[in-house]
């Protein structure tokens, strides 16, 4: 075959006009450390994935597929700020898509996008701060257990679950929560601005809504799913590239079983408690 014939067989047009590419980054799960061996979403775990997403060849936008009930406000803020920094550096728009839930820290992440979409039945919002724990002072008293605790610093044992709760300690905790809540409200106000249509009292009360109601309140920009919106935005030939973290060597198949068995033996109790905590976060939204 002649050279000209070979060239004619090549898909030259695809090189001249490559199809648009959208990088898809999944932000699924609880935000922050869940247990001794189970890490949730964190900037450290997502940094390289986000970098690769924004540097993808011919990328037209980055899509965040969010399914998170929230978690650490610090990690939520760090991840969101990194997304914004990369979007500005590479001049690539960001679209967020709420799946089952984008609430609390999950909505914090969604606000890093230029536009937010959700299903009509997605759970969206919960712009607030919550802390929880157990009071066990009565239990150990009934069991005849004596609590011995020594501190340097009068507030070091504040809210210890084995000691009776003090009103002044609760007020200090609420002051910390108010500071975090103010940061959350400032972020939402910065990112959503004039799009917000509800009253401040309602929007920032910690309440959550379905996607349909969230659209009416200006918390999201539209109803739709990731694939449908991106095809409408970029055309039917758009290529969706899911960007995930590189697979660490210690999770390769030939080592996985032995390590996971060791993990289970080493931290079974911690893992159970972490699973209960994670389940509590999801069940708060009826999931």
Please write the tens of the pLDDT for every residue from 228-274.
999 999 999 999 999 988 765 545 555 555 545 545 544 444 455 45
pLDDT category, 108, cuts 50, 70, 90? Answer: very high
Mean pLDDT, rounded, of the chain: 82
- Annotated catalytic residue within 68, 72, 104, 126: 104
**What mean pLDDT comes out for the span 41-54?**
96
Between 258 and 65, residue with greater pLDDT? 65
**What mean pLDDT comes out for the span 4-23?**
67
Does a structural domain hold residue 233?
Answer: yes
pLDDT at 130: 75
- Annotated catalytic residue within 156, 166, 195, 197: 156
Does a structural domain hold residue 273?
Answer: yes
What 3-state DSSP class applies to 55?
A: coil
Does a structural domain hold residue 216?
Answer: yes
Q: Kindly report the backbone phi and psi dihedral angles of residue 73, in degrees, each rounded to the nearest multiple of 5, phi listed first.
A: -70, -30
Does a structural domain hold residue 77?
Answer: yes
Does a structural domain hold residue 145?
Answer: no
Does a structural domain hold residue 147?
Answer: no
Does a structural domain hold residue 3?
Answer: no
Residue 19 to residue 151: CA distance in whole angstroms: 64
Q: Which domain holds residue 188?
A: 19-129+181-283
Q: Is the pLDDT of residue 140 over 70?
A: no
**What mean pLDDT comes out for the span 42-66?**
96
Number of domains forming the structure of the chain:
1
Between 152 and 82, residue with greater pLDDT? 82
The yes-or-no answer on residue 156 being catalytic is yes
Supply the CATH number for residue 236's domain.
3.90.226.10
Of 60, 58, 116, 111, residue with least CA distance to 83:
111
pLDDT category, 219, cuts 50, 70, 90? Answer: very high
The yes-or-no answer on residue 42 being catalytic is no
């Amino acid at each position: 075959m002649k050279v000209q014939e070979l060239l004619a067989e090549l898909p030259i047009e695809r090189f001249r006009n490559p199809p648009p590419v959208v990088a898809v980054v999944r932000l699924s799960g609880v935000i922050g450390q869940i247990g001794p061996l189970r890490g949730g979403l964190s900037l450290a775990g997502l940094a390289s994935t986000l970098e690769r997403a924004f540097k993808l060849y011919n990328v037209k936008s980055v899509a965040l597929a969010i399914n998170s009930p929230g978690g650490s406000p610090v990690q939520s803020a760090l991840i969101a700020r990194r997304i914004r920094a990369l979007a500005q550096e590479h001049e690539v728009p960001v679209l967020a898509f709420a799946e089952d839930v984008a609430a609390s820290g999950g909505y914090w992440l969604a606000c890093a996008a230029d536009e937010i979409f959700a299903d009509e039945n997605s759970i969206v919002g919960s712009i607030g701060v919550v802390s929880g724990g157990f009071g066990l002072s009565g239990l150990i008293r009934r069991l005849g257990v004596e609590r011995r605790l020594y501190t340097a610093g009068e507030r070091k044992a504040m809210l210890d679950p084995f000691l009776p709760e003090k009103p002044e300690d609760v007020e200090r905790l609420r002051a910390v929560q108010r500071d975090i809540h103010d940061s959350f409200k400032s972020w939402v106000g910065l990112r959503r601005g004039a799009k917000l249509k509800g009253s401040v009292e309602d929007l920032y009360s910690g309440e959550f809504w379905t996607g349909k109601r969230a659209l009416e309140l200006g918390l999201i920009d539209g109803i739709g799913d990731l694939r449908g919106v991106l095809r409408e935005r970029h055309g039917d030939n758009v290529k969706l590239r899911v960007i995930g973290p590189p697979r660490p060597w210690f999770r390769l198949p030939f080592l996985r079983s032995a390590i996971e068995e060791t993990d289970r033996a080493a931290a079974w109790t911690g893992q159970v408690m972490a699973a209960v905590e994670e389940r509590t976060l999801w069940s708060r939204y009826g999931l």
